[in-house]
Structure 1
Amino acid sequence: MANTSDVQASKLLKVLPEVFQVAADTSAPMQALLAVAEDMHQPVRQVLDRLHTVPDPGRAPASLIPFLSRWVDLDWLTLPGAEGAAGGSGAVPITRQRDLIAAAAQLSSRRGTVDGLTRFLHLATGVAGFDVESVPGAFHIKVLVPADAAGQLELIGRIVKGVKPAHITDEIEVRTGE
């Protein structure tokens, strides 16, 4: 049975009509009912207390990252069911997925540009130093991959195909020891 100080501290009791608040001071059944109601609301209260972490890719539980990826249209790259994303060199680690989700608006606004493609590749692979060469009017790009990212060519290829304009052809070349 709940003691009187627990009942008075009850968050639920504060929102009940005054007649219940007065009765809770002396009524054992009312105290028991409030204690049970508090216990039943506790899991919901815990979820609501951390609700602000759900849309934050840096603090969201790992189980929500696929949902957030879909929310910002990155599921084509990050979901386990995506082509090549289940494992191997095509997989995007969870920390990289969080970075991509956090930068999704910026990446989307720069989609189809050389700057946007290099930024996307850097965030997805965790390796800096990508370059994209293009000849104006040639409708072709060459993506120069740093040697440190050579083990992620499948992922890089998927990103290039998914981010470049559809009318542009592409080739990917790994830089050798510079």
Structure 2
Amino acid sequence: MHRAAIERLLPAAYQRAAGPGSVLGALLDVMEALHAPDEAVLADVDALFAPYRTPDGFVAYLTRWVAMDHVVATPRPNAPLPLPVGRLRDLVAHGALLARWRGTPYGMRTALELATGVTGFVLDEPADRPFHVVVRVPPAAADQLALVTRIVEAEKPAAVTVEVTVLGDAGPPPPGPADSTPDRAVGRARVPSPVPVPAVEEPS
């Protein structure tokens, strides 16, 4: 509040005593200066919760709001983030989409692509191993296996086992039965197959 606004809240006798050079006047000046930082924050408080406007130090906190805090889980306090803050903002911005598709191949691939900044992840379901998924990581993301594993463990259905491997130079294996059917399945749990779209768009 500005000094004049604070002064109007005082009884008439105090207002008369708050003239220039008075002790009460100086106190009101101090009150105005103390209020200014908090009022500046409140005037733009919505920016704190906007993924691309919030301060860098607040982005990791917002991951808890969209159930993506496992991405930044670190064993030591104040440890550096495992991925650039820009990619972390992308994850927060797509939090609702990821929650909607959690447990599906599309959801897992989208989370992995947003977090690593790399495309080309392949999810296979071996026909001889029900409720098992093999996540094949593109070579460009081979240096982020710890992050990839953490995301895979959080995004997969609870009853499904997984293994994470790096794709060889020969490229991805041919599509298996799960890729050729109208419906995709994770651990044989039938889910609709979204039309392939870029990771930043919601599937139609």
TMscore range, shorter length: 0.7 to 0.9
Shift in alpha-carbon separation, 1:128–1:78, aligned structure 2, 3 A: same
Query: Would you say 1:148 and 2:140 are equivalent positions?
Result: yes
Aligned length: 163
Instruction: Please list every run of 5 or more consecutive structure 1 residues that lacks an aligned counterpart in the other structure.
Output: 1-9
1:48 to 31, 35, 42: 42
Shift in alpha-carbon separation, 1:161–1:51, aligned structure 2, 3 A: same
Structure 2 length normalisation: TM-score?
0.67
Between the aligned partners of 1:165 and 1:124, the Cα distance in structure 2 is 19
Between the aligned partners of 2:154 and 2:104, the Cα distance in structure 1 is 12
Query: Would you say 1:175 and 2:167 are equivalent positions?
Result: yes
One-letter amino acid of the structure 2 residue matched with residue 46 of structure 1? A
2:4 to 13, 24, 43: 13
TM-superposition CA deviations, 1:23-62 (whole Å, max 9, x none) = 68x9323654443332121111122123121111212112
One-letter amino acid of the structure 2 residue matched with residue 163 of structure 1? E
TM-superposition CA deviations, 1:92-140 (whole Å, max 9, x none) = 3322222111111110111000000000000111111112122578212
Cα RMSD (Å): 3.0
TM-superposition CA deviations, 1:53-106 (whole Å, max 9, x none) = 111121211221232122222222213338xxx56xx92332222211111111
Between the aligned partners of 2:4 and 2:73, the Cα distance in structure 1 is 45
Instruction: Please list every run of 5 or more consecutive structure 2 residues that lacks an aligned counterpart in the other structure.
Output: 172-204
1:128 to 108, 119, 124: 119
Aligned counterparts, 1:87-126, within 5 A:
91-126=82-117
Shift in alpha-carbon separation, 1:14–1:151, aligned structure 2, 3 A: same
Between the aligned partners of 1:18 and 1:168, the Cα distance in structure 2 is 67
Q: Which moved more, 1:57-66 or 1:132-141?
A: 132-141
Q: Specify which structure has the higher proportion of helix.
A: 1
Query: Would you say 1:80 and 2:74 are equivalent positions?
Result: yes
Identity, in percent, stands at 35
Check whether the contact 1:69–1:79 (CA below 8 A) recurs between aligned residues: no
1:58 to 52, 55, 73: 52
